Amino acid sequence: MIRAFLLALFLLVSAPIGAQAQQSDLQSILQDYQEIVASPSRRTVGPMLEALAASGLPGTLGFLEAFQNRDVWVRGADGLFFYVIERDDDQFTLLDIATGEEVGTADKSEIEQIRPNGGVRREIGSALVQFQLSDPDIERRQAAVDAIARDLSADQIGPLSGAIDNEADPDLKARKEMLLGMLIAGFGDVPEERITAIETLADRSSVEARAVLNQILRSSSEVAADLPEGENIAGERIVGVDLSREEAYLELVDAGLAPQRISADALRAALVENLADGAVGGVPVDELGDPARRVDAYQALAEAGQVAPFVTEDEITAALAAHTFYDVYAEADASVTRAAEEALAAIETRVAMGQAVDLGLDALSLASIYFLAAIGLAVTFGVMGVINMAHGEFIMMGAYTGYVVQLVIPDYTLSLVVALPLAFAVTFAAGVAMERLVIRWLYHRPLETLLATFGISIALQQLAKNIFGTQARPLTSPGWLDGARVVNDVVQISYIRIAIFVLALMFLVLILFILNRTRLGLEVRAVTQNPGMAASMGINPDRINMLTFGLGSGVAGIAGVAIGLYAKVTSEMGSDYIVQSFMTVVVGGVGNVWGTLAGAALIGSFQKGIEWLNPSNTLAAQTYMIIIIIIFIQFRPRGIIALKGRAAGG
């Protein structure tokens, strides 16, 4: 009722222009409740708040804020209330509580600060929230709604429902309606209205909605000889299934329905305390080494009334069998709790599906990153058969190229447009140089190729450290890639990951087009399948190998720019992707672009699935993934999509 009056007060504040002439009446109302204002308590402050709400005076809101912040003073001589400005000479300037104008001065001994306690301040704070629900300032309205959401209570239903129709902002209006539904579901007076509100909550998956439903379904554990009549029973608990034998008996003891069990230490202490003439309870000391005789001695003491009774296992069994253990809802209306259970079950099902979709999106995102990192390797290793351990460093070179471009071009969108082709050109040239100077002399010598490219990898890392230092460098994404696409409270994916996914699709199409629809692709496939026959047809295998290696290196450079927008840019960043890149190519099928795509999808899904099962240990997840892949290769050594014909035989 108080909240409704306060809301009415706020709506009246801006209504009649003639109210400006009533500001002096605010002091009169406070004087009617002078003792309550001067010495407020949570139990007595209500009538004063109701009177202020009914007055419709414009100075009331400011007074309540000052009252809550302990900025109201009372003059002892006449009991009038003021705001004050303190001066250096223990003199105070008095301000009118309605207009804020100076109305005189007072000595420190003549006035006293009003200090409402925490309970009163909470009451005033709740009242202020209701005022703010219809404040012209949208930020204050949002703050009021946030305050209600943090502490839902039954007395907020009326004010909130009255502040919905006049809400101009559609998003805030929807939030108010959602909160009103939660309030009615949790605190409504009419069961039918509560059930309708609960059914509405079933269409949501927010944490707030689940919290309201869980609040309705809160229960306590009870024990009795029989299930009580008239209680809203949540369910029975079975000893040995829902709770252990020991836990069940402790509940009986706590409820005063069974005697306390005697522990072994307590039994031993009781025997020692009652030792007399070399015996305890008629049992000689030399026989107390036998546990059964210790029990006999204790029972003899219990029969004599010297110690508490001893509870046997048979007595415990009988006590458990004679009582029923159950949970009882705090909500008395069974129809309400039944509706809440159905709504919560529907929400949990939807949340589980949302989590599965979110996990799938994470796996797809990771697969896109692995595909970008591995597609260049699929060309050099999968098509040419060259084990290039420096492939990760081409990714690193592409990322640093993007960083340097951003130093020159501060516009992140334009710098990204420039960086992608430039990274391809830089790493293409580096790949061609590497193939001409090193790789061409090591064809068909895999061990020497591995060692040589591993040495080049180390050299390139050190060169990057010498140029850029050891600290991570920023590769900033454009503003339009900030944030995330939020589907609901469970499913969301960042725009940068969406962009990487789109880029991966573009490169899939580009590589397939080059290999299947261009003369270069035709010659690459010819040299791959039969170099001698290709040479006899006028194709230069050395030139094709050089261009193929350069193409794979250039694609790695572009992948480096994309990965740099998402991950750290350091001299070691290539090492984070080289193992996954090789696994992607091998698992998918060597020499097959579609296989690389399948391998990236499989590895990304495996890794995200294992991380979901073991979220606290990412390193363990990667270890498990490698083990799974090793097992997979044992059954499909040529990968998911194996080449056929001559190309399959190398």
Is residue 320 a part of any domain in this protein? yes
Mean pLDDT confidence for 389-395: 91
Q: What is the Cα–Cα distance from 76 to 110, expressed in whole angstroms? A: 6
Residues 253 and 365 occupy one common structural domain = no
Mean pLDDT confidence for 45-73: 80
The helices-and-strands tally (H runs, E runs) of the chain is: 26, 12
Residue 647 has pLDDT above 70, yes or no: no
Can you give the pLDDT at residue 313? 84
Strands (E), 87-213: 91-95, 102-107, 111-113
Residue 596 has pLDDT above 80, yes or no: yes
Is residue 349 a part of any domain in this protein? no
Mean pLDDT confidence for 494-512: 86
Neighbour-count burial of 102, counting CB atoms closer than 10 A to its CB (0-12 exposed, 13-18 middle, 19+ buried): exposed
Can you give the pLDDT at residue 18? 38
Is residue 344 a part of any domain in this protein? no
Is residue 335 a part of any domain in this protein? no
Residues 101 and 165 occupy one common structural domain = no
Residues 214 and 224 occupy one common structural domain = no
Q: What is the Cα–Cα distance from 642 to 650, expressed in whole angstroms? A: 12
Domain end residue (candidates: 218, 241, 261):
218
Can you give the pLDDT at residue 295? 83
Measuring CA to CA, which residue among 582, 632, 585 is closest to residue 606? 632
Domain boundaries, position 192: 138-218
Residues 248 and 323 occupy one common structural domain = yes
Can you give the pLDDT at residue 454? 92
22 or 364: which carries more pLDDT confidence? Answer: 364
Structural domain count, the chain:
4
Mean pLDDT confidence for 172-198: 89
- Residue-wise pLDDT tens digits, 606-623: 888 888 877 666 666 677
Q: How many residues does the chain have?
A: 650
Please say whether the dihedral angle defined by the alpha carbons of residues 225, 230, 234 and 235, taken in this order, is positive or negative: positive
**CB count in 10 Å sphere of residue 83:** 18
To the nearest whole number, what is the mean pLDDT of the chain?
83
Percent of residues, the chain, with pLDDT higher than 90: 18
Percent of residues, the chain, with pLDDT higher than 70: 92
Phi and psi angles of residue 112, each rounded to the nearest 5 degrees, phi first: -140, 135
Phi and psi angles of residue 279, each rounded to the nearest 5 degrees, phi first: -150, 160
The alpha carbon torsion through 35, 37, 39, 40 (nearest 10 deg) reads 120
Structure confidence at residue 273 as a pLDDT band (50, 70, 90):
confident
Is residue 150 a part of any domain in this protein? yes
Residues 236 and 161 occupy one common structural domain = no
- Residue-wise pLDDT tens digits, 513-550: 888 888 888 888 787 777 778 788 888 888 888 988 89
Is residue 154 a part of any domain in this protein? yes
Residues 405 and 478 occupy one common structural domain = yes
- Do the Cβ atoms of 554 and 440 come closer than 8 Å? no
- Residue-wise pLDDT tens digits, 279-308: 888 888 888 888 888 888 888 888 888 888
Q: Which amino acid is at 137?
A: D
Q: What is the Cα–Cα distance from 325 to 304, expressed in whole angstroms? A: 34
Structure confidence at residue 87 as a pLDDT band (50, 70, 90):
confident
Domain end residue (candidates: 87, 108, 132):
132
What does the block give as tokens for 600? 């990236």
Residues 212 and 305 occupy one common structural domain = no
Q: What is the pTM of this model?
A: 0.65
Domain of 383, CATH number, reads 1.10.3470
Residues 446 and 594 occupy one common structural domain = yes
Question: Quick one: three-class SS letters along 538-566?
Answer: CCCHHHHHHHHHHHHHHHHHHHHHHHHHH
Is residue 347 a part of any domain in this protein? no
- Flag the least confident range among 94-98, 551-555, 571-575, 591-595: 591-595
Tell me, rounded to whole angstroms, the distance of Cα 405 from its chain centroid. Answer: 35
Angle made by CA atoms 202, 208, 213, in degrees to the nearest 5:
50
**CB count in 10 Å sphere of residue 122:** 14
Can you give the pLDDT at residue 587? 84
Can you give the pLDDT at residue 618? 64
- Do the Cβ atoms of 38 and 114 come closer than 8 Å? yes
Residues 491 and 359 occupy one common structural domain = yes
Is residue 236 a part of any domain in this protein? yes
What does the block give as tokens for 366? 């990771």
3-state helix, strand, coil in the chain (%, to 5): 65, 10, 25
Tell me, rounded to whole angstroms, the distance of Cα 177 from its chain centroid. Answer: 25
Burial 433-456 (b: 16+ CB within 10 A, else e): ebbeebbeebbeeeeebeebbeeb
DSSP 309: P
Structure confidence at residue 50 as a pLDDT band (50, 70, 90):
confident
